[in-house]
Structure 1
Amino acid sequence: MSLRVSQLFCLILLIEAIVVYFAAPKIYNYNFNVFCSVQYAISVGIYLFLKKKKNYFDFDCVFFTGYFFVTLFYPVFMYENDPTRFFAFQYDFDANIIPQASALALVGINAYIFGSFLHKPKSSEARKYGLKDFIPNNHLSFITAVTFLLYILTGGYAALGGAYSGDEVQKSAISSYVFIFTPAFLLSTIIIEFYNLRTKNMFKFQFKNLNKITLFISLMFVFLMLATGSRTVPMQVILLCGGLLTLFFKPISFVRFVFLAFLGMGVMFLVVLARGYQQQGNFSLVDIAMDLIINNRNSYAAIEYVRTNGITWGMSMSASFLSPVPFLQNIVITLFGIDPFTMSSSIVITKMTLGEVGELGLGTNIIADIYMSFGFPGVVLLMTGLGYFISMTLDKAKTNIYALVCYGIMMSYAVFLVRAEFFFFLRFLVWGIIIVYISKLYRVKFVLRKKIE
């Protein structure tokens, strides 16, 4: 099927989703939620068919899986049977908003799908040349180790473990700032390592070509972070490595992807159990996806907020948008007298629900964040842009290091982006590009010095 026909087909799906959204019932309707979920599955199935993927362990498939749990799972599988199983749903919300939220989720995913087909892929002839330059990364591994060591020495690591175990441990303010840099350098190091592996052998992954320093530091970091009960950055590392390994060397079939998805969710839940997880009542399989499912409520809260207060015109996503520039948030707050509690949709939702912002946070999700800032048009436009961006960077990742950085960072956020702010990835994406640029510059100067000598 030609690209134009695929674009037209996906545009029809998007228009249908928009019609469904405006036809959503004003009161709770279970059958309508089921319809949206079925339509979601159909849209994703058509997308995968049109894309003719050879590798299913990519951003799209991971994102689609998480997106369903975050936006559509609760109203179909839990609201009727066990509506208050998870703590977030024990706070009141208007159930009549649920159909609109389900339809909005359907619009968002179809906008993403349409945006993905707006990008025209390169020809296979242009792809075969691959990557050509070798970029040193031992210095990045060293910086990763140093920043993580500083994080440990300043009390951040002990405080993180205490937060999950229930033991209060004081940490210095500097530990939080130091740790911001550790994942940025680690993810950049891993991306460069796969870039180098691809340069050495375009067609086969060879363990002997792997930088043992990078491997050791990555494994130690993941192990030590999991030991505290933290899963966020370890999951990012795992997703990044798996995404680039399957992109370059070992494509994964759909059946294997489904198996790995369930296996991954199970393993991450074991980490939750290890840190002392307790749930009222008997264990249920839905508990495995609890961290995703609880974010369904944020869609309802966002819609309720907009009905009462109107859209924020980007204010509620400004914190993550400004995050790439250190201290820029504080500068903007001081210069313009902005209330910092209004700069993040997760904080707005928490304050709206609990009345205050404390240790307990209710979070947000990608659709809630966009809708709170720019309403329905924002969901259509920004999700279309996200689909286009992912398709473009994935297509160019095998031939352009900066596209590889962008896709690699996005792949590492494929799970967490659905339950976070839209620009949640922006800091590490911008920093990753800068880190790789400086590393390439370092290599060029080194080569020139060698030639002069």
Structure 2
Amino acid sequence: MDKIFCLLSVVLYFFAPMHYSFEYCLVLFISVVFNAYYIFSKDKKNEIVGFNSIFSLSLILVTYIFPLFVYEVFPNYSLFGYAYNEKVITKSTALVNVAYSCYAVGYLMVLKNKPRRILNIRNSLYEFPTLVSKSRIPIFRRCVLFLFIVVVVAGGLTSFKKQYSGEDAGAMGGILSFVWLVFQTFCILFTCINLKYNDKKSFLLLALIMFLLLAVGSRTLPLCIVSLIFYAFCLKRKYSLKRILLYVVFAFIVFSIVGRLRLGPEQDLSGISANELGVLNYFEDFIVCSRNQYVIYDFVQRKGVTFGISALGYVLAVVPFSQSIVCSLFGLSDADLRSEVLTTKWASSDAGLGTHIVGDVYLAFGLFGVIFLFYLLGYIVAKSRRYMFLGNRKGTIIYLILLSGAMFMCRGSYFYSLKNIVWSLIIVSLFGIIKKRRKK
């Protein structure tokens, strides 16, 4: 069935009109919803909440709300006030269906190839694998606290407050930016480690830090941490689907309120009151990503792909300061290496306009890149989760970090979690090497 959905999505893409069609977008939406439900029905015995459910929901939100519910009423809603080619809406939306159906094929390929040891996690008492020994928890706690203090002293919280209030859209620079990247990785890895031990002091420290970040309008890291903890609760306590949905709605309301409070007056480009769009305003962060998909698709049709250059930013982030070195050697700018910076540059905007995961891949590698990389994503997600269920440390790290960024991947780069995965694997490996040497 997944291959049928894939073939259907490819056919729908090639026959998609180069003009806006509500009816065609509706067909695309129905197709992707059925595809998502098919995956969920095959996977719900393993987990109800996981990477797949979060990723699928996020991708649908960032792709279909605007063409189905907003465009015909308010085509210049919010960031859509910046120019975009309305003729590519249907075609670029159809491309998302191709990406998702390829992801589904890769994901279900792993589910279909059942190992001899078949695990039904939701019918057993699950324990997360040991990433580091419990005696190392205080070390991680001190590292997280120290890095957070450095971020605060260096003006990180003030920077976030200005940025999200609209006073300053510029990014953190120099050492502060590097420390923040390290801090993010340590927080996410620390949370992954503590899912096994449930150390109260550690969770209390993380809760305090996340509260302070939310207070200045930063939601990305807090949502990553909450996603991991919520996943652990659902997996261990086997909550019903109704109860999970209740918690999800509550969390969504809280984070949406934070998002609405942090918007500055100059960021509202639509001139539309909250009452005019009602509940859709709470999905604004998702809705505006559709524009990036249209702009990127239109750019590729006119000027071609970047042959991977526009995706280099997150790949080079794995090696500290390598991005600046590459830019200096080859005469590139920061905008050239990141699709979200490119969309902002094209619009000559002071506000960061962001990107769309499918557009990010399409800009860098074209249609064949979308087909291959999204198939690979589905395969890696399902494979790493299987290894986690079998007690493998590397599989656990890869899956949990991918899960922590599942919501933001769709609004960002395909390689969004790469740095955190590589750094976390290195850190855990170093602790393992130290442990072995001490035993000798």
Q: TM-score with structure 2 length normalisation?
A: 0.90
Farther-moved stretch of structure 1 (219-228 vs 160-169):
160-169
1:394-405 superposed matches below 5 A? 394-398=385-389, 399-405=391-397
8 Å CA contact 2:130–2:193 kept in 1: the answer is no
1:296-445 superposed matches below 5 A? 296-354=290-348, 359-398=350-389, 399-445=391-437
From the superposition, tell whether residues 273 and 98 of structure 1 become closer, same or farther in structure 2 (CA, over 3 Å).
closer
CA distance in 2, matches of 1:104, 1:325: 32
Task: Give aligned-pair identity as a percent.
Answer: 25
Q: Which amino acid aligns with 2:407?
A: V
RMSD over equivalenced CA pairs, Å: 2.3
- Structure 1: runs of 5 or more not aligned: 1-8, 198-209
Aligned to 1:122: 115
1:58-69 superposed matches below 5 A? 58-69=50-61
Instruction: Report the CA distance between 1:134 and its aligned residue.
Output: 5.5
1:47-62 superposed matches below 5 A? 47-62=39-54
8 Å CA contact 2:217–2:262 kept in 1: the answer is yes
8 Å CA contact 1:72–1:105 kept in 2: the answer is no
Aligned to 2:258: 271
Instruction: Report the CA distance between 1:172 and its aligned residue.
Output: 7.1
Instruction: Report the CA distance between 1:341 and its aligned residue.
Output: 2.1
From the superposition, tell whether residues 132 and 148 of structure 1 become closer, same or farther in structure 2 (CA, over 3 Å).
closer
Farther-moved stretch of structure 1 (223-232 vs 250-259):
250-259
From the superposition, tell whether residues 391 and 71 of structure 1 become closer, same or farther in structure 2 (CA, over 3 Å).
same
CA distance in 2, matches of 1:174, 1:149: 14
Farther-moved stretch of structure 1 (303-312 vs 123-132):
123-132
CA distance in 2, matches of 1:349, 1:441: 43
8 Å CA contact 1:188–1:435 kept in 2: the answer is no
* Pair 1:137-2:130 in alignment: no
8 Å CA contact 1:303–1:368 kept in 2: the answer is yes
Aligned to 2:73: 81
CA distance in 2, matches of 1:366, 1:133: 30
Instruction: Report the CA distance between 1:55 and its aligned residue.
Output: 2.3
How many residue pairs end up in the alignment?
422
From the superposition, tell whether residues 437 and 93 of structure 1 become closer, same or farther in structure 2 (CA, over 3 Å).
same
Aligned to 1:246: 234
Q: Which amino acid aligns with 2:199?
A: N
Farther-moved stretch of structure 1 (333-342 vs 303-312):
333-342
Deviations 1:1-36 (A, max 9, x none): xxxxxxxx2112101110110010122111000110
8 Å CA contact 1:397–1:407 kept in 2: the answer is yes
Instruction: Report the CA distance between 1:441 and its aligned residue.
Output: 2.6
* Pair 1:232-2:233 in alignment: no
Q: TM-score with structure 1 length normalisation?
A: 0.88
Corresponding residue SS for 1:255: helix
Instruction: Report the CA distance between 1:54 and its aligned residue.
Output: 4.4
Instruction: Report the CA distance between 1:368 and its aligned residue.
Output: 0.4
CA distance in 2, matches of 1:183, 1:333: 24
* Pair 1:286-2:283 in alignment: no
Q: Which amino acid aligns with 1:390?
A: V
- Structure 2: runs of 5 or more not aligned: none
Deviations 1:348-404 (A, max 9, x none): 2222222xxx64121101000011111111111111000001001111113111111
* Pair 1:222-2:210 in alignment: yes
